[in-house]
Structure 1
Amino acid sequence: MRLQEETGTVFHSWNEKRLKIALVYPNTYHQGMSNLGFQTVYHLLNQSADCLCERFFLPDKDDLKRSDCPLLSIESGHTLTDFDLVALSISFENDYLNLPIIFNLAGIPFLAADRDQSWPLILFGGVCAFINPEPLSDIVDVVAIGEAEPILPELLDLLVQKNQSREDCLQKMAQLPGIYVPRFYTPVYAQTGEVTQFIIEKGAPEKVARQFLHDLDRSPSRSFIQTAATEFGNMALTEVSRGCSRGCRFCAAGFVYLPPRERSLENLVEQVEVGLCQRDRIGLVAAAVSDHSAIQELQTEILEKKGQISMSSLRLDALTTEEVEIIYRAGHKSVAIAPEAGSQRLRDYINKGISEEQILTSVKILADGGIKNLKLYFIIGFPDEEQSDIDAIIALTEKISLLWREAGRKRGQLGQLTLSVNPFIPKPFTPFQWVGMETTNSLKKKIRVLQAAISHIPNTRINNESIRNATLQTFLSRADRRIGSLLPELAEGGNIKQLCKKSGLSLDFYVTRQRQADEIFPWDVIDQGVKKSYLWHEYQQAQQQKSTSPCAPGCRRCGVCGELIGSC
């Protein structure tokens, strides 16, 4: 049924010459087909004359309840074990818990040590792979560190070679740029649990350099397969840029996709024209869509071609009346913005680079521009957060709500204001990788305070992410390979703290502990392109900023060069 609703699906004949690759998204079809990176890898693999790539997804909940639930490819109904390579595309750490289910349905041993030459090789790719591959390092055979476009050509050239042993193949892979073979790196742990060093087999590089595509125009990234059965089924997605120069100290995506790169206007118009043949609405995707140097020209091009526009992010400090008019004309009734923190002190601490005046000005422009509903993203539990910062979220929300209600009364229709409040998750390769997550009890208290206060603000509601899910994500994003064997029991609903204790590990060690300045991290086997010393310097800058506040509100540091940007 799903296959019949798709356009753009690629079918290849099953002959012996082709390398057969199973591309697995460890969540449902609805989630996976909403992922632009997954679609791009599918397109790249099937472009090769020597390859055949088919897709696999986690079965839906109702299907999983069946005792005979099959795990079959979308394109031809083959099983995972029919393929030479199983490529896992993982964008969210919590999807690790779906891997034991997928391996079990396929009848594949979960740990790499239990698989011999007769089993397909297991490759781990996606953004989780180059943030921290270690939690899956005892499970997978190979990890792709970086973006697919520069990695795949050499990797595929090697894999299509026949009559090579598994061991020879892995040794050759370890020499390729951006390929990490975990079995050639053995971590050594101190009695206190920290990694003290990696013993590296001869021939493997000391660090694996993250690969990235220098010129985005060389390779399109858009919705190659269209289907209504996704979150963005009514639009054709187009990637505008990669990376972000803003340098928010909590944001992994802002650092692991450096340097910032953007597609040319000409390239984007070509992709948009293809998308408009399939859908009336174009979804512009990037970490910072509004930062594109030709964003207004692109929006005008789409509108002139009778298309509608959806944007994944808005730039608060440069929002214009003209941009909001374009958004309104495109049919948007709801818009999301991200102040992240309520107080100026904390926004400066995280290097957000916006002032309260800029936030309120942007809100007024959106309200006066006819946007009906507004969503505000806030994070709680930042390092050095105080009760006054929680109070500042409430105070800022009250000011925004007042502006929003006044605009609603003028147009005769009150809109909805929604706060999305999420716990801070300290991620690898950010200046805050040294800090721990705030404790569950403390976060619960802050959420209760916010819920009580927001309930008294008219036309305003609050949603918050599960603290349990946030704790799990922190655990999985910062852990080492010792936790891989816990995943099957975690997938069955086991208590994370008890499972850690049973295995001689500590949940607090991974989640809430403050790291030492010179600590070796599990993810230090990766050369991300951003020096660890720079990240530490940024962390120290934040620590100094909380007491000195040398900059004017709205100043920030560039995530690439560290220079101050703003009124300074």
Structure 2
Amino acid sequence: MGYCSFCLEGWDRSPYAEAEFDALIAKAKELKRNSGASDLDILSFNFNTHSRIFDLLLELNKIFRRVSFMSQRLDILAGTEGLMEAELAGGKRSFTLGIEGISKGLRSYYRKGLDEEDLGKCLDFCLRRGVRELKLFFIISGRESPEDLEEFDSLMKGIEGRKAASGSGTNVLVSAGFLVRLPFTPLQYEAPSFDAGRLVGIADRMRDSCTATGAEFRLAGSPEECFADQTLSLFGGSLMPYLLRIPSLGFVYDGSLSRKAWESLERYISALPDLPMLLGAKTRDFRPPLAFIVNEDRHAALWSHYEAAIGFKDRASCFGGRCSACGACVDGKEREGMTGHRIASPRQRSGYLRDLAAVILEKGRFASISIEAAIPEELAFAEPAYRVSWLSRRIFAAYEAASFMVFEIKESIFVPGSVFGTTIPHGTGRFGISRFSVFGPSRERLAALLSRLGAQIPGLKVLEAPAPLEVDLGIRLQGINLESLGKVLGSWLEANRVAFTIGASRASREAKEWN
């Protein structure tokens, strides 16, 4: 774990302790049994720093059909021999590199401890080894100078040149977000930026550089959202009267924040007596809301790192290296956890890579069998993924060892892309018998297992044919009279391009119901 000048997690959530390997594997198996999941997405602050990352990649891929992890340190990725090759062998085709600063100077301001050689190594690997997508993340602080933007332009031109030299088809995506100077980070002392025009102008310059070099550019949020985040985190209890009024003002956050919401909040804070102090640079005596949760030594360390950041003095990573006496660690045990950490490499790297690649290849070749299963009425409006999860959990509950044989279940009828996939529109309630494809290492063992479980799970039956040629549908319409029923049903079938004839059977006429 690093101590970047902007990162709340590094400062506020430390110290970190990694979970034991055996406990993680046991939890992964339990998760599969209890959720029916076929995919595992691992989210942690720095997954690739686990001391047994190589073993985890191999063993987790033996449990789930697909495994991916979302967060990893760039310096660990570059500096751990064989790790990039292992991730590629494990099926990873999209890499995200958190570069943060658009120039070397700004990376020092963020105190990334990122070696330019490590950055180049990761870029070369991704562009030369067939990576499908390369995501580069940056933070816009408002400090960016014309020289910084020129350096970013050179970086993007260098990536374009690397792609051309290697014939790479990698899609390069640059994502940028605006800096929020959060409490309990070194940058809490710096004056926040509320200049939307300047921030957007910097983003536009970055977009121009990306467009000129064939890369895609995206902004992670609007300046107004950044300003609201900054205000809410900085002003503390003085905002309580305003927050209590929000329901009556009609402002909600639903994926984004409106400009009017920020304008309303801005008007409120403009009348606060402590506004000048909060909007300016702070002294070392400044304390954020809830400052009592950390001791004075931590506040002193934050100030020391702030002075280094605004002086563009970077720090070398002490993770698995030497202590820099920066004051971030609270005791000797925490320092030992940082400097003494080591990543265990495979004893025979070539053999490990072959084994991992073989597991991925085998999962890609899994055969499937077709089954029928009865979906209860309670799941009529459930999403297809939930119905599959429900069925998987029923199977694993009936026979626990089935979780080692069943890697994925897909509904194979009535869902988009399947047989009769357009017959029943999305959002229409559906229950009863449906068909599923079950994937695993052995068709014969799957068929034998699911045939035995048919007695325990109502409606479960192994089939020979993968898809039916015809289906019987019972349609339940509520709140509609018989005179208009035929017209409504006919319009619905026509809209979904289903050939049909409609009429009333003798039994239906007698019962005054339609089939």
Normalized against structure 2, the TM-score is what?
Answer: 0.55
Equivalent residue for 1:480, pick from 208, 218, 236: 236
Separation in 2, partners of 1:476, 1:510: 15
Q: Unpaired segments of 5 or more residues in structure 2?
A: 253-257, 340-515
Structure 2 counterpart of 1:350: 110
Q: How does 1:10-21 map to 2 (within 5 A)?
A: none
Structure 2 counterpart of 1:535: 302
Deviation track 1:227-286 (CA, whole Å, cap 9, x = no partner) reads xxxxxxxxxxxxxxxxx3x11111001111111211011111111222343223222221
Q: Contact 1:328/1:370 (CA < 8 Å) preserved in 2?
A: no
Q: Is the alpha carbon distance of 1:262 and 1:502 closer, same or farther for their aligned partners in structure 2, counting shifts above 3 Å?
A: closer
Q: Contact 2:141/2:179 (CA < 8 Å) preserved in 1?
A: yes
Q: How does 1:425-444 map to 2 (within 5 A)?
A: 425-438=180-193, 439-444=195-200
Q: Is the alpha carbon distance of 1:406 and 1:313 closer, same or farther for their aligned partners in structure 2, counting shifts above 3 Å?
A: farther
- The answer to whether 1:302 aligns with 2:84 is no
Give the AA of the match of 1:388: E
Structure 2 counterpart of 1:333: 93
Deviation track 1:478-519 (CA, whole Å, cap 9, x = no partner) reads 122121222313726644345443572289658742222212
Q: Contact 2:113/2:315 (CA < 8 Å) preserved in 1?
A: no
Q: Is the alpha carbon distance of 1:403 and 1:449 closer, same or farther for their aligned partners in structure 2, counting shifts above 3 Å?
A: same
Q: Contact 1:418/1:460 (CA < 8 Å) preserved in 2?
A: yes
Deviation, structure 1 residue 434 = 0.6
Alpha-carbon RMSD across the aligned residues, in angstroms, is: 3.4
Equivalent residue for 2:147, pick from 365, 385, 388: 388
Equivalent residue for 2:288, pick from 484, 502, 521: 521
Q: How does 1:4-83 map to 2 (within 5 A)?
A: none
Deviation, structure 1 residue 326 = 3.6
Residue 284 of structure 2: SS of its match in structure 1? coil
The number of aligned residues is 315
Separation in 2, partners of 1:351, 1:485: 37
* Greater mean deviation of Cα atoms: 391-400 or 314-323: 314-323
Structure having the higher Rg: 2
Separation in 2, partners of 1:512, 1:262: 38
Equivalent residue for 1:398, pick from 157, 162, 175: 157
Structure holding more helix per residue: 2
Q: Contact 1:417/1:460 (CA < 8 Å) preserved in 2?
A: yes
Separation in 1, partners of 2:297, 2:102: 29
Q: Unpaired segments of 5 or more residues in structure 1?
A: 1-243
Aligned sequence identity (%): 20
Q: How does 1:28-427 map to 2 (within 5 A)?
A: 244=1, 246-277=2-33, 278-305=36-63, 307-319=65-77, 322-381=82-141, 385-407=144-166, 409=167, 414-427=169-182
Q: For CA contacts below 8 A with separation 6 or more, give which structure has more relative contact order.
A: 2
Q: Is the alpha carbon distance of 1:529 and 1:519 closer, same or farther for their aligned partners in structure 2, counting shifts above 3 Å?
A: closer
Give the AA of the match of 1:496: W
Deviation track 1:36-93 (CA, whole Å, cap 9, x = no partner) reads xxxxxxxxxxxxxxxxxxxxxxxxxxxxxxxxxxxxxxxxxxxxxxxxxxxxxxxxxx
Structure holding more strand per residue: 1
Give the AA of the match of 1:360: G
Normalized against structure 1, the TM-score is what?
Answer: 0.50
Q: Is the alpha carbon distance of 1:499 and 1:310 closer, same or farther for their aligned partners in structure 2, counting shifts above 3 Å?
A: closer
Deviation, structure 1 residue 467 = 0.9
